[in-house]
Amino acid sequence: MSALPPELIDGLNVRSVRPVHGGDIAQAYRLDTADGPLFCKTHPSPSPDLFARESAGLAELRAHAPALLCVPQVLRESPNGLVLEWIDEGGSARSGSEEAFGAGLAQLHRVTRAQFGGLGGDTAGYLGSVAVDLRPHPDWPEFYLTRRLVPLVDQAVEAGRVDPRARGMLEAIAPRVAQLCGPSEPPALLHGDLWAGNRLVDRSGTNWLIDPACHYGHREYDLAMMALFGGFGPQCWRAYDEAFPLADGWEQRVAWYQLPPLLVHAILFGGSYGDAAIRALRTYR
């Protein structure tokens, strides 16, 4: 217990601490307290404002999430970690929870604001632990190209994780970025890192959203991330499209919107992710 930052646990009447699964970036623990279990995540040397950004994203989602979706409350925050309410996992995604997730996400994506980018005055954020530019911009294709694709391709190439040809491929694609991004839509509140591991189902079958990389962007971005690693059933996709119909051709844009997470995974983990990013770029030459 002494290894946990005192500002996170002092006064919580913690009786025991045990490690639990909690992602690739932070260490995660269950805190058993006199008032029930809590979840704690920490990092010994986090990137600047890493946990503040996560806390702000959870607060934004919690403020706007419909009744069909739950978001854990942040109970403690410090530069070294967070303490959140405990989610009693153990439920399995079934038809009702899949439909509720799809319909709930569609409602969340209807939350909008004037410009694309960060929350409030935030001008920077993270995808995983990779810093990204969230300065607001009125035009989504320009935002996506200059705030996401160009910086991430540059970083991946410089790290030796992606073939340097990626830069030329992106330059060739850039004049068509407005077409590739699909029909214009208002900024949508995005989870920003919506793979199946960041959606939990509790013992009652209720869906929870965790570990966001929140910003306002094109809603197909979240859907592309959902499709990247799977884990969402057909009932989920149908319920989403019924509640908030998708624009024609969205399936052809999935690989386009998977580029940022592929590039981030290449930067962080290497392996085959760099090759997958090149294949996605080649799709749109």
> Pick from 41, 44, 14: which is nearest to 28 by CA?
41
For 29-88, the DSSP string reads EEEEETTEEEEEEE-SSPPTTHHHHHHHHHHHHHHH--TTEE-PPEEEEETTEEEEE---
Please identify which of the residues 193, 211, 241, 248 carries the catalytic annotation.
193
Task: Return the axis-axis angle of helices 259-269 and 150-158, rounded to nearest 10°.
Answer: 20
Q: Examine the residue annotation and report whether 35 is marked as an active-site residue of this protein.
A: no
**Tokens read off for 46:** 């986090």
Q: Rounded to an integer, what distance in angstroms lies between the CA atom of residue 108 and that of residue 167?
A: 34
> Pick from 115, 3, 118: which is nearest to 53 by CA?
118
Q: Rounded to an integer, what distance in angstroms lies between the CA atom of residue 50 and that of residue 131?
A: 9
Three-state DSSP class for 265?
helix
Active-site positions? Answer: 193
